[in-house]
Amino acid sequence: MTGELRVLPLPGIPEIEEGDDLAALLVDAAAGTGGLAEHDVLVVAQKVVSKEEGRVIRLDEVEPSAEARELAGEEDPRRVEVILRESRRVVRSRPPLVIAETPHGFVCASAGVDSSNAKGPGTVVLLPLDPDASASRLRERIGELTGHEVAVVVSDSFGRAWRTGTTDVALGVAGMTALLDLRGTRDAVGYELHATQIAVADEVAGAAELVMGKVDGVPAAIVRGLHPSGDGRGSDLVMPAERDLFR
Amino acid sequence: MTGELRVLPLPGIPEIEEGDDLAALLVDAAAGTGGLAEHDVLVVAQKVVSKEEGRVIRLDEVEPSAEARELAGEEDPRRVEVILRESRRVVRSRPPLVIAETPHGFVCASAGVDSSNAKGPGTVVLLPLDPDASASRLRERIGELTGHEVAVVVSDSFGRAWRTGTTDVALGVAGMTALLDLRGTRDAVGYELHATQIAVADEVAGAAELVMGKVDGVPAAIVRGLHPSGDGRGSDLVMPAERDLFR
């Protein structure tokens, strides 16, 4: 049985620039809470990962297409142009809102292109090209720096069908199961769980969001006590269209 | 800024029968972890709340309709009949799977009707009639028993559009904000957050799920350190159809 979990915010992470050693900055920030420990899960907001990877666009270098101008309504068409470039397809739109499917298969507002907590006015931050690779790279580098095996979740805030508000979800995962498959196990009264798969990495991302906060500028948190294992990926959490009864 | 959160499982809760004093049993279980404290958030699985409220159906008392027989495929049509009775409408179906909208407005598999961890073979458990009222009642009774003001979340595992697996969400809420509205506030670099609303009660439910576990029979957890305030409702998290771009 799982014991107690602790969810620890990591304040004090400086503004991230392309090429920074984000893993080292996370390790430093964690030192303020006693340091990263073996089997911690480190949840890192997508935005700082993207900044480290240079996934930032200056809007004054973007020429909007006719389609972008139409979808933008009264908003900045250059931002919508970036959203279209980051999209495999537009799922829904109601100017200026665009819900898009990204090349990763994520369905989210603005294809994950975000103006908040960006690199100042006139810039937007894109999703990492490969969030699972980002998570693996951070995990490996943290192992080098600390000698500890940690799991890493790269998180972002997504809206959902049917429900209001965003919850944080796992875009990238390394060092832990992303989707816990209980099919075939039995419940406490012996009933076989036929269809139960739990998106644990999304629940971990959401738990971390509770201490991170968009306003406070805390882009990372430790989830301790989960005893992560397995080698799940964020891509495990993307639902193939043909299996999705909820869309 | 939010500090550390702790998420504490509450094992040792006995099998719940209709009319039990669930609040008292939760208080007793919490004593094993040092007791409930002021401003704790108590997350309780819908299933034990439903059992306390007598929301259990014996399938041998159910006569399936023709529609239920058709939707059931090779599964038990009596179970599908109960699902149809608990549904405002069927959203999607692929026998034997039914996604339905409940009278509360929740969109979920089987209208929340569940055979796992039920009252033995041949029974199913329904959602509470009014999960917000259930949460308020538990919160009030816990206040009487302990003198502490706690928040209560009644949780269940829901599938989602676009993503695999379930995450736990808040069906009923009492004593805390369910949907945190940051619209109009500014981020760390001064950018105004236009559209940001966070489903904190869903993230709390998901965090608790990580320690509860479907297999272990731990139907409740404490989330400590959140400093809940406000008087949100689970119904705040139901998206009105006309605003939902994700469905």
Chain B 13-32, CB below 8 Å of chain A: which residues?
none
B90 touches chain A (CB under 8 A): no
Select A19-45+129-226's CATH number: 3.30.1330.100, 3.40.50.150, 3.30.70.270, 3.30.300.90: 3.30.1330.100
Q: Which residue has the higher pLDDT, B95 or A219?
A: A219
Select A56-125's CATH number: 3.90.1660.10, 3.60.10.10, 3.30.70.20, 3.40.50.300: 3.90.1660.10
Residue A182 is predicted with a pLDDT of 86
B110 touches chain A (CB under 8 A): no
Residue A100, strand partner residues: A90, A108
The secondary element (H helix, E strand) that includes residue A31 is helix A22-31
Residue A54 is predicted with a pLDDT of 97
Mean pLDDT of A24-39: 95
pLDDT in tens, A149-158: 999 999 999 9
> How high is the mean pLDDT of chain A?
93
Same fold, B6-46+128-238 and B56-125: no
Residue A116 is predicted with a pLDDT of 79
Q: How far is CA B244 from the centre of its chain?
A: 21
Residue A158, strand partner residues: A167
Smallest Cα–Cα separation from B158: which of A129, A103, A196, A41?
A196
CA-based nearest distance B79→chain A, Å:
15
pLDDT in tens, A206-218: 999 999 976 667 9
Mean pLDDT of A226-235: 96
Q: Which residues contact A192 (CB under 8 A, 6 or more apart)?
A: A184, A185, A186
A202 pLDDT exceeds 60?
yes
Both structure tokens of B226: 């959140």
Low-confidence ranges of chain B (pLDDT < 50): 1
Class of domain B6-46+128-238: alpha beta
Residue A195 is predicted with a pLDDT of 61
Residue A238, strand partner residues: B163
Chain A 173-232, CB below 8 Å of chain B: which residues?
179-180, 182, 185-189, 191, 193, 195-200, 202-204, 206-207, 209-211, 213-218, 226
For the entire predicted model, the pTM comes to 0.95
Domain residue ranges in chain B: 6-46+128-238, 56-125
A87 pLDDT exceeds 80?
yes
Lowest mean pLDDT among A35-49, A116-130, B53-67, B180-194: B180-194
Smallest Cβ–Cβ distance between B163 and the set A5, A120, A199 belongs to A199
Which chain A residues are Cβ-neighbours of B245 within 8 angstroms? Answer: 92-94, 97, 99, 159
Q: How far is CA B122 from the centre of its chain?
A: 23
